[in-house]
Structure 1
């Protein structure tokens, strides 16, 4: 085989197809025929042919020019392509196809999918939070407690991870009640505590301070505290 011919074929280049489009064209509402027509239009545009005719498309597809015309009509109607008017330096007007609507639809779909996944993850995280609280309290939460949990997340903007950390703090302090946990969250928010690392560091520093303070105070025989903790309700 003539090596020069092979080199000539390779020199024609390739058509870049976004992988995301290949994966999601079905979800966008495109049929295989419509998808292939768009790919051929993309190829024509890369060659500098901005308004391929139905006959030119038919030469590359297994469709007749009439079928290609109908496919283009559907793509226009469904908002996957548009026709734009161009004016060159000589003020000559011409029409071109644009695939911008296709890319916009793909981006919109991907963003919507991302938001849906984030919402699903948050719902699962919130459900896990309710389960953890019920396990620690050893009983189902009351409607008021459920409403308080929802308020911490929706109105106060506390991350579920931070709420779990506050619950742990309440468990360690031996004060397992919603009022105490609410006070912890209030103090953390006031001090700019927004991550689990900040909460842990804040707790360690305060406990260290509490331990130092305790050693400087005279012993009290009537009260012994084995685990130092910050009484958030009395702050």
Structure 2
């Protein structure tokens, strides 16, 4: 019976939700374990209806002294993890309260920067992979001009790496493996609003079907070199 009452008391204490992002990223924003515990206790006090606990109240929950807790709080203020807000309760009474808003902002900035850096790494890896594919198909290292052209296709013309590789495949299939021909393919795809691999493949299939249906006589009469823009002869 005593255990039952003890369990009920525990349940009545309620629970505090600790943000998972905070647990997984406090080290990245510059908090150590002791500072993290002080932050968690402040968060718990706020959630429990005490938005401005004293250093004594916080230290009582920990294995540190009130003086040590005060020093940690000062560091949290100075480093931009914690702030104090003033709230007018009833004139002229003004109540002070802790806010962890600076910490959440630091965390969001850190996570956003992490996403940007990760995206940059993926783009660089894709670019290196793209260069390797071109060198493999051409059977030689790319020239500086060809490397610049690849970068231009991605950075200035905003062609997706997948479409650039698809244009390369079209050039290989057509037997016209040169950058001018590939550039023209990409130009036409962009003009025709082709944005997916499926659309590009369908466009290439239509062109090859058209080529096969051209009169044999016309093929025999033509004696010049096929220009790079013949891919567009539709």
TM-score (norm 1): 0.90
SS in 2 for 1:88: strand
Correspondence 1:231 to 2:230? yes
- How big is the shift at 1:2? 2.9
> How many pairs align?
227
Aligned-residue RMSD, C-alpha: 2.0
- 5 Å-filtered alignment, 1:112-131, equals 112-131=113-132
- 5 Å-filtered alignment, 1:53-72, equals 53-72=54-73
**Contact 2:188–2:232 (CA<8 Å) still a contact in 1?**
no
SS in 1 for 2:149: helix
Correspondence 1:188 to 2:199? no
- How big is the shift at 1:206? 3.1
1:123-178 deviation line (CA, Å, top 9, x unaligned): 00000000000000000000000011111111111111110000000000000000
TM-score (norm 2): 0.91
Distance 1:61 1:207 in 2: 75
Segments ≥4 residues shifted beyond 6 Å: none
- How big is the shift at 1:221? 8.0
Q: Go from structure 1 to structure 2 and tell me whether the alpha carbon gap of 1:121 and 1:77 turns closer, same or farther (over 3 Å shift).
A: same
Distance 1:207 1:94 in 2: 77
Structure 2: tracts of 5 or more residues without a match: 223-228
**Contact 1:180–1:233 (CA<8 Å) still a contact in 2?**
no
Distance 1:192 1:140 in 2: 31
**Contact 1:58–1:68 (CA<8 Å) still a contact in 2?**
yes
1:181-203 deviation line (CA, Å, top 9, x unaligned): 00000000000012212211222
Structure 1: tracts of 5 or more residues without a match: 225-229
Correspondence 1:100 to 2:101? yes
- How big is the shift at 1:119? 0.6
SS in 2 for 1:2: helix
**Contact 2:207–2:231 (CA<8 Å) still a contact in 1?**
no
- 5 Å-filtered alignment, 1:204-215, equals 204-211=205-212, 213-214=213-214
Q: Go from structure 1 to structure 2 and tell me whether the alpha carbon gap of 1:91 and 1:13 turns closer, same or farther (over 3 Å shift).
A: same
SS in 2 for 1:231: helix
Question: Which residue in the other structure is 2:204 paired with?
Answer: 203
